[in-house]
Structure 1
């Protein structure tokens, strides 16, 4: 080859190189670019509210356990130099996106001290939230008096007291704050603590030195708190024996997971022998025994099992059932004899109760007829129900239906529950003994044995064993088996009611022989985040429900990146859920900003899945596929293609040194964008020059 020919070939080679680089430049130009509009994520402002600022009014905040919530700590403090009053401090810790926190101090609060709070009007104080913490401290009265009349009454009047070095008081109500926030409502997490030694329940607070003994039985955990200033009349274990035995025998539902019992020091002018407050807290004077038909420890415990609202016509039921079962359950546990129990009920026949009509509170508020007359009437109805059903039912069935009733119980409702438990024949006596001044007589020992001698059915409803963490997400459905067992001495019909936060969500019934058991399956779907408590009435379980996690697209790939018109490509998104809870989301794969496929993805914690879409591409050019912020590009060529992964041609045979006249391509590597008309022109030039070179030589 001559020098000129070599120069010409060099020029053609440079031209081909330029064509190749042009193709590479074209591919780079079509690479992924960021989307112009970022995705709105949880916590950002909505389109309707571009600032993202919202306001939570007091009471709207709710309670949450999120690390992003407002933490409100209510600390209760003794004031030894000022008996009769206590200090309450409210400490707040808020995330940066919360501002303008407002709190209202209690109406009886005085001596308000603030840190970063400013009074804005009346009893309302505001904290701008520019710092992470703030506090309010107030002094409130601790001593409260009682006007209660009844067998639980004493010569004193105090219901709650602070003596300086110890205090037994009602737990102060938490003043839920209002606030301004950005993004999602953070909610409020409330903590209650004491400064120094103390115990806090849902309704009671004891502050001062003490000892605590605990026992778990029948799905409940009992805490008996004995202040250092108290001297018990009974051994602690005997008190727990008495109350836990009542827990087992009383099958009326509303069995709380925890019960707080405080032995109140007797050297105070208490207005009652015991007091139950809050759903599961009570105190009893420390000098009260358990071997008596007026067992105050059991009386107050029975109150914790009452989960109904009454009307005037049924208000008597509260103290009547507590008084009756205090004696009847103590008798069944062999702590008293029948003569003591009969004399206890016989008090209702005294002249002072002759005008009592139970459905009319005005006839008994001044003489405690709801305790005395009420207990005798409940006992008589219990006896009649047992006889009418051959001991397959007791008055506890009425009690249980009261607890399940979603509305305040009327007198008519009560009579209906009596009919349901014992039949039509019991309704007339129930009406007569509650609407008139007629009184039943107490029974002989033989009459009592005829009705109460056989152990009735005692149904136990057991939830499955607790999982390591009862954490669920909204939209998740749980399926669980409830074991129903008849621990009693006779066959009977069980009536299982499963509630969530007090609302009935499932009912099951059936008949079981004595010592038999069965299983009932229940399903429930969580609709709202927060803490939700399942209960069978005998056992309860609290689930923490959170919003589902949002799985992320970890990778997006295509099985081919180069193809000819009319060929298919499969694009696959790998979706992962690294969170500690189930996740769900709607995933969309797009092609050139057009929706290609949309699927609902649900993943367990720590799992992953793949979502794929297959599409036929007809239009030449580069097509961009996306899922979230992940993208992948696929190119469609008008001519033949090569495999992008290996560089091998996908059409014809590469022949070094030139063509063979059969459509073979020059073996210069994979074709790419820009190898259309320019590549053809280069080929023509190369062919023409090669022929010229042949003539020159």
Structure 2
């Protein structure tokens, strides 16, 4: 399921003109477990103890892929990239609230450049403000807070309800022991005056966790757990497994499926980081995409019960959403879920997770024969886009392969959609389909998209490209794991550098209760 995100920034119309904009912010953050926190009252002297051979290096003959360079800050997480001084910067610090089940403690730290003349922040409904600096309530009884101009480094701390439902199922929750939720819940307004070239002030919104957990560009997990990551062709895929989760699949198997998908699906949609959150009960949704990819970063959550060995593959379905970089008209919105459902099943087949017969039986669903994909008013359920969209794309891909003599496929269409500037209309879609097929398929699209006619799905396995037996596992990226548990919260830090473990000895840290 894809979550939609919008930005409605309005650029300045002339030099020295004031511009007012509203934004949900840019989705970019440098997440990481927040483990070691150096505060006042912490002292240490350091000796390096070198332990050689405790962690085995790569097997002979196997060369790991180069890993991206990261910088650790004082709290042990990934360092934030320097924020440009010409934009509004908002950093949300997220923390659990054990005494307030269903809530998380949020501090929004706002830095405003000199050209910003006013700034308002609208908190989520029922939020309880605990303290502010540089903000005053906009109007009594509202959730709006206005910057008072006293400082350009303002902040507001509030208790936010994070329990959320979708279709009757929980999709965000805070249990007291852990929390998993969508942290993007505020609205911002600002006015700025440019004195140089009239370019607009761009907002940047990032999140970090106060203690244990991971914050992605949209979702955040707070609590103990384990992470696994693999880098494939410049894309780092990180799997976040909460301590209380019991995944139906081995984490390494999930990473392998995602790594193969990254290499197999070439849609001109570069993503440098993808965070996958495994969702334990009481969360009930099967899966959810974080929405629009921002700054080449994406995230999603997948319920712990979802298996890999099925054509109804939630993990791969949600991953396909990270490759969708286009906007559609309402008439063409069905292609988002339809293509994710199709490629999720096709990738499962190509990876050998399911047989061709299982894949085809899933694709030839007879569901919603009376519904027209391009006419939402004819839909009896939102599942029309998934199920009938799946069957239509299965048939369309096979048709393109046949008409182009196997030289092109549906992937060519989606590569072009991702490059397209402007909304995807039915005419735009038909143009790129014709380009891929080498001839017009307008009549085919009119019959199966603009009307309710059910598309015929070919029975030949050769019409669907590389089979599972041919899809060798060519991923060689290294895998790392990071574990944080409360029991080791006061242990000395350990650095792993090139096969050598460096223990930082002589560590002293004030216990959580403040005693010495």
Indicate whether the TM-score tops 0.5. Answer: yes
Distance 1:357 1:101, change over 3 A: closer
Pick aligned residue for 1:438 from 450, 453, 458: 453
What is the number of equivalent residue pairs in this alignment? 389
Could you say which residue in structure 2 is the equivalent of 1:427? 442
Contact 1:55–1:178 (CA under 8 A) maintained in structure 2 = no
Pick aligned residue for 2:288 from 275, 285, 288: 275
Shift of 1:450: 5.3
Could you say which residue in structure 2 is the equivalent of 1:223? 238
Separation of aligned partners in 2, 1:389 and 1:188: 45
Separation of aligned partners in 2, 1:139 and 1:103: 18
Pick aligned residue for 1:359 from 358, 374, 377: 374
Correspondences of 1:274-353 after superposition (within 5 Å): 274-278=287-291, 279=293, 280-347=298-365, 349=366, 352-353=367-368
Could you say which residue in structure 2 is the equivalent of 1:196? 211
Q: Which structure is larger by alpha-carbon Rg, 1 or 2?
A: 1
Correspondences of 1:112-261 after superposition (within 5 Å): 112-116=129-133, 117-121=135-139, 122-126=142-146, 128-130=148-150, 134-147=154-167, 157-173=169-185, 175-176=187-188, 178=190, 190-261=205-276
Could you say which residue in structure 2 is the equivalent of 1:417? 432
Distance 1:412 1:85, change over 3 A: same
Separation of aligned partners in 1, 2:346 and 2:336: 16
Pick aligned residue for 1:104 from 121, 136, 147: 121
Shift of 1:403: 1.7
Separation of aligned partners in 2, 1:282 and 1:164: 22
Matching of residue 377 in structure 1 with residue 392 in structure 2: yes
Contact 1:384–1:426 (CA under 8 A) maintained in structure 2 = no
Could you say which residue in structure 2 is the equivalent of 1:91? 109
Contact 1:276–1:300 (CA under 8 A) maintained in structure 2 = yes
Matching of residue 81 in structure 1 with residue 93 in structure 2: no
Distance 1:221 1:453, change over 3 A: closer
Separation of aligned partners in 1, 2:249 and 2:385: 28
Correspondences of 1:18-33 after superposition (within 5 Å): none
SS of the residue corresponding to residue 424 of structure 1 reads coil
Contact 2:23–2:187 (CA under 8 A) maintained in structure 1 = no
Separation of aligned partners in 2, 1:71 and 1:357: 44
Shift of 1:396: 1.0
Shift of 1:65: 2.4
Distance 1:448 1:132, change over 3 A: closer
SS of the residue corresponding to residue 165 of structure 1 reads coil
SS of the residue corresponding to residue 364 of structure 2 reads helix
Distance 1:369 1:246, change over 3 A: same
Distance 1:327 1:115, change over 3 A: closer
Separation of aligned partners in 1, 2:98 and 2:172: 16
Distance 1:60 1:393, change over 3 A: closer
Separation of aligned partners in 1, 2:137 and 2:461: 66
Shift of 1:67: 6.3
Deviations 1:340-374 (A, max 9, x none): 11111122x2xx52202111122335161221121
SS of the residue corresponding to residue 80 of structure 1 reads coil
Structure 1 residues without counterparts, runs of 5 or longer: 1-47, 148-155, 459-697
Separation of aligned partners in 1, 2:302 and 2:24: 36
Could you say which residue in structure 1 is the equivalent of 2:56? none
Shift of 1:212: 0.7
Contact 1:100–1:127 (CA under 8 A) maintained in structure 2 = no
Contact 1:202–1:281 (CA under 8 A) maintained in structure 2 = yes
SS of the residue corresponding to residue 313 of structure 1 reads helix
SS of the residue corresponding to residue 327 of structure 1 reads helix
Structure 2 residues without counterparts, runs of 5 or longer: 1-14, 27-81, 472-516
TM-score (norm: length of structure 2): 0.67
Superposed CA RMSD in Å reads 3.4
SS of the residue corresponding to residue 118 of structure 1 reads strand
Shift of 1:281: 1.0
Distance 1:69 1:202, change over 3 A: closer
Separation of aligned partners in 1, 2:116 and 2:467: 66
Could you say which residue in structure 1 is the equivalent of 2:83? 65
Shift of 1:135: 2.7
Deviations 1:219-260 (A, max 9, x none): 311010000110111111110111111111111121211111
Distance 1:236 1:133, change over 3 A: same
Separation of aligned partners in 2, 1:383 and 1:175: 44
